[in-house]
């Protein structure tokens, strides 16, 4: 990434360099920081004085920059970001203290996670489970019932039950998908050295559907392979963790039918005389996944290449790849074939 500085806005501010109030330029640029012994690159914000030709960072922006670096670290370690933790609370209508008590943690633990502290992976898994399985969230509420006043307990119970009624099938679809990948629990050439990430997969599908018209299931499955293959070819690691097989129409991920059943995937079934077509639409209710700049670059390149392709065109294109030509029916397609994939130019 470049450290080129970009102007965000101009404001009137008391400049500590000039010791007077005048127009200051707020700028941003990529910088590096050390978080928990790991170097991360993040988008830093600072103030710039044109009179002194020097920048400075007030306390408010120092806090902002530190939080941005922490969030990048969380993403790199596949931990929930502070915003994602808040989304889980909001799903059930919980305060920070209530969510901490429901999890059996200290009163201010969630407050710290949403502001300055980075959670332990064990607690991260616990929070993820309360989102993915609302029935488990209800179990925790009953387990820690004594921590809540009776009226508030009943309100929280009703809120969780409503989530179960609305999104209960999400957990079961996720579990079915996870079970289909149970033997791919280690990074190998079959999954592109990337473990299955259902949240990221949902985000990839939503992103593609947002920018590609007339997106049907077969074309989507090919585009998913190209996203993972291009990521592997560029960064030696796939993006979604999907494992692909050789099918007559090209590369198809294991459990492809379950993938389009994910509640985050918006599918319109079109009935035709001899078959049913599955059209993939953007999901307005889905929160866009926070991709890295490298991941966005991969997605945009694949979309640019295949956006105007018909289903048959992308199938024919895929048939010319080594990944298809040198594998047999139902065979797992090694991502090593992606190293020889056709250029996108």
Is pLDDT at 286 greater than 70 in this prediction? Answer: no
Secondary structure percentages of the chain, helix, strand, coil, to 5:
50, 20, 35
**Phi/psi of residue 281, each to 5°?**
-115, 155
pLDDT at position 89 is 95
Q: CB–CB of 205/220 below 8 Å?
A: yes
pLDDT at position 287 is 64
What ranges do the domains of the chain cover?
Answer: 6-76, 82-180, 198-340
Between residues 172 and 241, the one the model is more confident about: 241
Q: CB–CB of 207/199 below 8 Å?
A: no
Annotate 215-251 with DSSP letters as a single string. -BHHHHHHHHHHHHHHHHHHHSS-SS---EEEETTEE
pLDDT at position 252 is 96
pLDDT at position 24 is 96
Write the CB contacts of 123 (distance below 8 Å, at least 6 apart in sequence): 103, 105, 109, 113
pLDDT at position 288 is 66
Is pLDDT at 113 greater than 90 in this prediction? Answer: yes
- DSSP secondary-structure letter at 28? E
pLDDT at position 345 is 65
- DSSP secondary-structure letter at 332? B
The answer, as to whether pTM is greater than 0.85, is no
Quick: pLDDT tens for 145-177: 999 999 999 999 999 998 887 765 666 777 788
Instruction: Kindly report the average pLDDT of the chain as a whole number.
Output: 91
Residues 30-58 have a mean pLDDT of 95
Residues 58-70 have a mean pLDDT of 94
pLDDT at position 132 is 80
Is pLDDT at 212 greater than 80 in this prediction? Answer: yes
pLDDT at position 220 is 96
């Amino acid at each position: 990434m470049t450290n080129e500085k970009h102007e965000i806005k101009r404001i009137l501010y008391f400049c500590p360099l000039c010791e007077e109030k005048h127009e200051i330029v707020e700028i941003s640029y990529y910088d590096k920081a050390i978080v928990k012994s790991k170097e991360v690159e993040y988008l830093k914000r600072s103030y710039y004085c044109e009179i002194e030709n020097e920048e400075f960072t007030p306390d408010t922006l120092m806090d902002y920059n530190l939080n941005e670096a922490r969030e990048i670290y969380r993403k790199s370690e596949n931990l929930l970001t502070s915003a994602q933790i808040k989304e889980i609370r909001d799903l059930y209508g919980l305060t920070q203290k209530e969510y901490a008590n429901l999890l059996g943690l200290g009163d201010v633990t969630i407050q710290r996670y949403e502001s300055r502290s980075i959670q332990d992976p064990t607690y991260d898994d616990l929070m993820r489970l309360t989102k993915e399985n609302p029935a488990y969230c209800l179990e925790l509420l009953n387990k820690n019932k004594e921590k809540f006043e009776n009226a508030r307990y009943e309100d929280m119970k009703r809120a969780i039950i409503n989530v179960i009624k609305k999104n209960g099938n999400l957990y079961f679809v996720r579990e079915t998908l996870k079970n289909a990948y149970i033997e791919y629990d280690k990074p190998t050439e079959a999954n592109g050295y990337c473990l299955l990430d259902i949240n990221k997969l949902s985000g990839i599908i939503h992103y593609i559907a947002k920018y590609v018209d007339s997106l049907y299931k077969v074309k989507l499955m090919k585009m998913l392979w190209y996203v993972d293959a291009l990521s592997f070819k560029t960064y030696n690691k796939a993006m979604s963790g999907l494992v692909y097989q050789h099918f007559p129409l090209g590369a198809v991920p294991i459990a492809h039918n379950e993938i389009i059943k994910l509640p985050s995937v918006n599918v319109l079934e079109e009935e035709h005389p001899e078959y049913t077509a599955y059209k993939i639409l953007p999901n307005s209710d889905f929160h866009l996944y926070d991709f890295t700049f490298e991941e966005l670059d991969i997605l945009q390149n694949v979309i640019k290449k295949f956006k105007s392709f018909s289903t048959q065109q992308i199938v024919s294109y895929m048939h010319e790849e080594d990944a298809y030509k040198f594998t047999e029916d139902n065979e797992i397609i090694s991502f090593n074939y992606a190293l020889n994939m056709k250029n996108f130019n």
